[in-house]
Structure 1
Amino acid sequence: MARYVYDFAEGGREMADLLGGKGSNLAEMTRMGLPVPPGFVITTEACRAFLATGSEPEGMAGEVARHLAAVEESAGRTLGRADDPLLLSVRSGARFSMPGMMETILNVGLNDESVRGLARVSGSDRFAWDSYRRLLQMFGATVMGVPAARFEEVLDAVKRRRGASDDLGLDADDMTALTGAYRDLILRETGEEFPQDPAEQLRRAVLAVFASWNGERARLYRRREHIPEDLGTAVTVQRMVFGNLGADSGSGVAFTRDPATGRPGVYGDYLPNAQGEDVVSGIRNTVPLADLAELDPASYARLLEIMETLEGHYTDLCDIEFTIERGRLWMLQTRVGKRTAEAAFAIADALVEEGLIDRREALARVSGEGLARLMFPRFDASRTREPLARGVAASP
């Protein structure tokens, strides 16, 4: 019988075809001894079997249960336990990076009972109900098919009533009310109650991530990037760590070099008191990663060490996602980062000078197409001009 599930400790980056880019790199960081929350990967083979038949492959459920038990044992908690619940993230991870094209569901395991247990053990009612409303929003949209805009409309209405510019202006009572409104919305739109069984939440979340491989966004992205249609996505299931526990927590992204120019330095964004999805969604303004040196010097110093370690290990620009939970740094993803044509040439040359790669490898990392892009006219960056306006970089 085929094997469909691997613990992080059983994999590595050489298994990207089977474990996907995210899963194989989490396994690699685990193997390197870096701080990665425990978890496991459901393989691309399982996804292909699901897409071919419309049902999960035989034996997968048993494998998931066994690996979940190992995560529960390491955490000292069980999924959705009423008084102190273990919560999980369920994320896509194809062989080739497809950022934002498939689905993620956080806080799997919460329900009407365990949210109160989470409030007690965390000491924060607001955090617990905020986590629950995020699960309802992600699960409702991704798994149950409620249009995502409906949830945003409900949230915007609550913020208007409170005069809040973002969700940080909402208190525990607001989050509790928002959770109830989301549950009502799900029932109204689907005719089905939000599932209270944590095991059912996990099973349906995994299958929904598999199905997102064939979503319209994902198909269009693969066509544009010339990614084969038949690869499927792996699913990474991981113990949740929380960046939204207060001022001593947060989430961010980091690059070991500037992906626009290739220059070494500290590049990235950080958002205090936020989960990772908040950083990339644009719902709040981030601060430069360098500000973390003032906000949490110990975590910042440790992050710089890990960035140097990863670049040396991968011998390339690394793109990193991380969360700080009450002063403890956790690594949630790394991959070889995308870059501009200018940065590609600059990084390849710098890595040769640093002795990390040879010139043959450097030439393999640049292309004639990239060189052609550098030949087009560009603004003279050395000239100073009076700016007409300032803005925040964004894309659709």
Structure 2
Amino acid sequence: MSKQYVYFFSKENADGSAQMKDILGGKGANLAEMSRIGLPVPPGFTISAEMCDYYSRHNNQYPPELEGQVKEALERLEKIRERKLGDARKPLLVSVRSGAAISMPGMMDTVLNLGLNDETVLGLAEETSNPRFAWDAYRRFIQMFGDVVLEIPHEKFEHTLEEIKREIAKNKGIENAENLKQEQLNKVVPDTALDVEHLQELVKKYKKIYEDFGKKFPQDAYEQLWMAINAVFGSWNNERAIKYREINEIKGLLGTAVNVQSMVFGNMGDDSGTGVGFTRNPSTGENKLYGEYLLNAQGEDVVAGIRTPKPVDKLKDEMPKIHEELLKVKQILENHYKDVQDFEFTIERGKLWMLQTRTGKRTAQAAVKIAVDMVKEGLIDKKTAVLRVQPKQLEQLLHPTFDPEEESKANPIATGLPASPGAGTGKVVFDADTAEEWAKNNEKVILVRIETSPEDIGGMAVSRGILTARGGMTSHAAVVARGMGIPCGAGAGEIFVDYAKKQFKV
């Protein structure tokens, strides 16, 4: 009998469990575990991290049995979802995501909405009676596939989107539309302002970008799937992932697993949305549901910081039933895992879906409070509590903070969200490479970005503080800074960052 490389998960059955992190990665193991404990998880399958190890040791080739195992799991998924990959009338769409045994936020690759092409987009539009949603999903997929799988610079797609938004702004009669900074433009013309015709035009222009780089967008959904799987396995050895492992002293892992999961959509209208939550506040340790969400959006909109999301408390007013469900999920996750969980969720037409959970990264102050509180609540014993506070975190407790008296006299020039606590001073730099270069010469630096991306990891690690114009408390900058104990102010919308002039102004 051939070795098992593919593990299925659904409400009916999960081959894996939380104990299998070494081979299924944290994401795959926890998707299986959440399925087992009855949480609403879209079905899918995980290709084990053993395959990543095989792939890198065999010159990017797979053993012959893998294709058959993937095909079998895909057919099982198609049967459960009652739709087929590449079918013109009822297409199955999937996400393809990485997941190593130790969480590495944003360092490896993700592709959403896979399975869309020129035919299936029409089928999806007809089936949902929502052409705007279908074309929005398609333009997102073409952009993400081009960036992640074919390594076309994502700025090319962003620039094209910006051009269309400027055109909309001009047609709306918005003054000085031509010269609006990107943050201002996104406020007056958010992504949701693009109608079907704009999105169709974007798709056409995005395909032209492929051609400019000598590439072709693949229309075959099965080909898309294998190209995405290759890209995720390949991302284990990309520069930012290697650097993250070095900085965080992560050693001895097989590689990343690949999770192929049925898509659920947060961008189907105002009864849909996406968010990131923590079962407790990762900055302070307070025992209260914490997180952010966006309505009519997909997951990358929250973590990438492209739109500044709303605090999860506001869901009480906008979707009280979903807020109630999230409070129940918080309790189930903590009772089961006995630790703070960082989870992703999607709301599709008023139904809540859980997309992942993992142990939540937290500040040193939060780690101490959470450990003490969980002993008092009877969730963990004292020995476990002591082990929950890492030696490096104790060092963070001694990090500088502002003198409260001096701070009360100071006149701030702008405010953002307190994504990671502490205080830092230094010379402002606007890109990660400069931050690393200056830090080597013992210069103290503050990294200022419109928003951070995983490529910035090296510069973030050497900075005394991080400031971003966009993003929220669960954006990439916030999560990474908290994990590293670096002060971070996120979503300071009053600042305008000009990379060309190397300056920011308020």
State the TM-score bracket (shorter-chain normalisation).
over 0.9
The letter of the residue matching 1:28 is: E
Once the two structures are superposed, the pairs formed by residues 1-80 of structure 1 within 5 Å of their partners are 1-8=2-9, 9-53=14-58, 54-80=60-86
Q: Which residue of 2 aligns with 1:198?
A: 221
Q: Which residue of 2 aligns with 1:233?
A: 256
In structure 2, C-alpha distance between the alignment counterparts of 1:138 and 1:161, rounded to whole Å: 23
- 1:195-231 CA-to-partner distances (Å, cap 9, x unmatched) read 1111111011101100011111111101101112652
Q: Which residue of 1 aligns with 2:165?
A: 159
Q: Is the CA contact 1:56–1:207 (under 8 Å) kept in the aligned structure 2?
A: no
Q: Which residue of 2 aligns with 1:263?
A: 286
- 1:146-180 CA-to-partner distances (Å, cap 9, x unmatched) read 11111111111111111153211211100001001
In structure 2, C-alpha distance between the alignment counterparts of 1:387 and 1:243, rounded to whole Å: 40
| 1:367 shift after superposition | 3.3
Q: Which has the higher contact order (CA 8 A, sep 6+)?
A: 1
What are the ranges of 5 or more consecutive residues in structure 2 without an aligned counterpart? 170-187, 420-467, 469-476, 481-506
| 1:365 shift after superposition | 1.1
In structure 1, C-alpha distance between the alignment counterparts of 2:331 and 2:297, rounded to whole Å: 25
In structure 1, C-alpha distance between the alignment counterparts of 2:26 and 2:167, rounded to whole Å: 43
Aligned to 1:15, the other structure's residue is in SS state: helix
The letter of the residue matching 1:2 is: K
The 1:376–1:118 alpha-carbon spacing in structure 2 relative to 1, beyond 3 Å, is closer
Of the structure 1 ranges 364-373 and 265-274, higher mean CA displacement relative to structure 2 is found in 364-373
Q: Which one of the candidate residues 175, 200, 218 is aligned to 2:241?
A: 218
Q: Which residue of 1 aligns with 2:152?
A: 146
| 1:381 shift after superposition | 6.5
Q: Which one of the candidate residues 210, 218, 232 is aligned to 1:186?
A: 210
Q: Which residue of 2 aligns with 1:354?
A: 377
In structure 2, C-alpha distance between the alignment counterparts of 1:233 and 1:157, rounded to whole Å: 37
Aligned to 1:11, the other structure's residue is in SS state: coil
TM-score by length of structure 2 reads: 0.76
In structure 2, C-alpha distance between the alignment counterparts of 1:63 and 1:25, rounded to whole Å: 21
Aligned to 2:86, the other structure's residue is in SS state: coil
What are the ranges of 5 or more consecutive residues in structure 1 without an aligned counterpart? none
In structure 1, C-alpha distance between the alignment counterparts of 2:375 and 2:88, rounded to whole Å: 55
Q: Is the CA contact 2:101–2:253 (under 8 Å) kept in the aligned structure 1?
A: no
Aligned to 2:402, the other structure's residue is in SS state: coil
The letter of the residue matching 2:127 is: V
Q: Is the CA contact 1:166–1:283 (under 8 Å) kept in the aligned structure 2?
A: no
TM-score by length of structure 1 reads: 0.96
Q: Is the CA contact 1:244–1:274 (under 8 Å) kept in the aligned structure 2?
A: yes
Aligned to 1:214, the other structure's residue is in SS state: coil
* 1:112 corresponds to 2:118: yes
Once the two structures are superposed, the pairs formed by residues 261-300 of structure 1 within 5 Å of their partners are 261-300=284-323
Of the structure 1 ranges 365-374 and 15-24, higher mean CA displacement relative to structure 2 is found in 365-374
The 1:375–1:292 alpha-carbon spacing in structure 2 relative to 1, beyond 3 Å, is same
Aligned to 2:323, the other structure's residue is in SS state: helix
The 1:368–1:136 alpha-carbon spacing in structure 2 relative to 1, beyond 3 Å, is closer
Q: Which residue of 2 aligns with 1:338?
A: 361
| 1:386 shift after superposition | 7.2
In structure 1, C-alpha distance between the alignment counterparts of 2:403 and 2:64, rounded to whole Å: 60
Identical columns (%): 51
Q: Is the CA contact 2:289–2:330 (under 8 Å) kept in the aligned structure 1?
A: no
Q: Which residue of 2 aligns with 1:316?
A: 339
The 1:230–1:316 alpha-carbon spacing in structure 2 relative to 1, beyond 3 Å, is closer
| 1:122 shift after superposition | 1.2
The 1:386–1:301 alpha-carbon spacing in structure 2 relative to 1, beyond 3 Å, is farther
